[in-house]
Structure 1
């Protein structure tokens, strides 16, 4: 199977076709292919994000911050990845300003605030929230903290500034970690 078709199948399976028996068979086949496909085994967090159009702004920001090599390293990492739409919620001009060379340090701090050391699955986050009376503090690579809580079945992240983001997709796998998709950029204090 060509790489482009494989990514398309993987994306469809990961993002929502989880109910039917046919889909269960397809997921099993995809899992087997992933173990047997050397190229797929090398798809790190950056490569996975770059293969999905909804993360083009994030990939541009990662490059501008000089974090590509870090996020391509062994990790493992868990990334709370803002979509393009999440970046568009920032005040007008903010993203353009952050992408300038003189803002590299600030941009790096914001992006590493979206990264956690280790491979943290969605079930781990939910269990931690439930085990800690409804809230769980997550230490980020930047040294900041996010507070995870539940709103119904959704995991909510509250940043140090009081901003709220919802995790909309979970457990997108990569060779060096996990991606959880979020609908709003979280910001450190």
Structure 2
């Protein structure tokens, strides 16, 4: 059932396909596409993605998402989304053992555990361990933001 291959992931079971099939990550998928990161997340990985749910994107300040989705803000959007990605295949239990998560954008997101709950950058992992052929998705309840210096070119 859980087979690993060194070739490109099955397109029907990769991170983006699984996120789309889940139904809770439509905005995340749109943002990934707009940021030009689809090819990366469709690649062989593996990646651990802390994907904000659609409800998480709804919590952004009014107009923020529309602004980020504009072509002129592609670099900022890519930096923010890369702050939600860690190299490797890591379960929520693995992540819960860390103090920080070294994200693909280069910044470390703080990890906190409270009881059985895991928090990444202040966002709670609400849907853990959604397995994919090229990684794992953990749904989170808000969009986490890197420091301002990382979002500038």
Query: What is the TM-score with the length of structure 1 in the denominator?
Result: 0.71
Shift of 1:143: 0.4
Q: Which residue of 2 aligns with 1:73?
A: 43
Tell whether the 8 Å contact from 2:49 to 2:86 is kept in structure 1 after alignment.
yes
Higher helix proportion (structure 1 or 2)? 1
Query: What is the TM-score with the length of structure 2 in the denominator?
Result: 0.87
| Bigger Rg over Cα | 1
Name segments (4+ residues, structure 1) moved above 4 Å: none
1:27-176 alignment runs, 5 A limit: 31=1, 41-42=10-11, 43-126=13-96, 128-129=97-98, 136-158=99-121, 164-176=122-134
Give the gaps of 5 or more residues in structure 1.
1-30, 130-135, 159-163
Aligned residues: 141
Q: Which has the higher contact order (CA 8 A, sep 6+)?
A: 2
Give the gaps of 5 or more residues in structure 2.
4-8, 148-153
SS in structure 1 of the partner of residue 120 of structure 2: strand
Cα distance in 1 for partners of 2:144, 2:76 equals 13
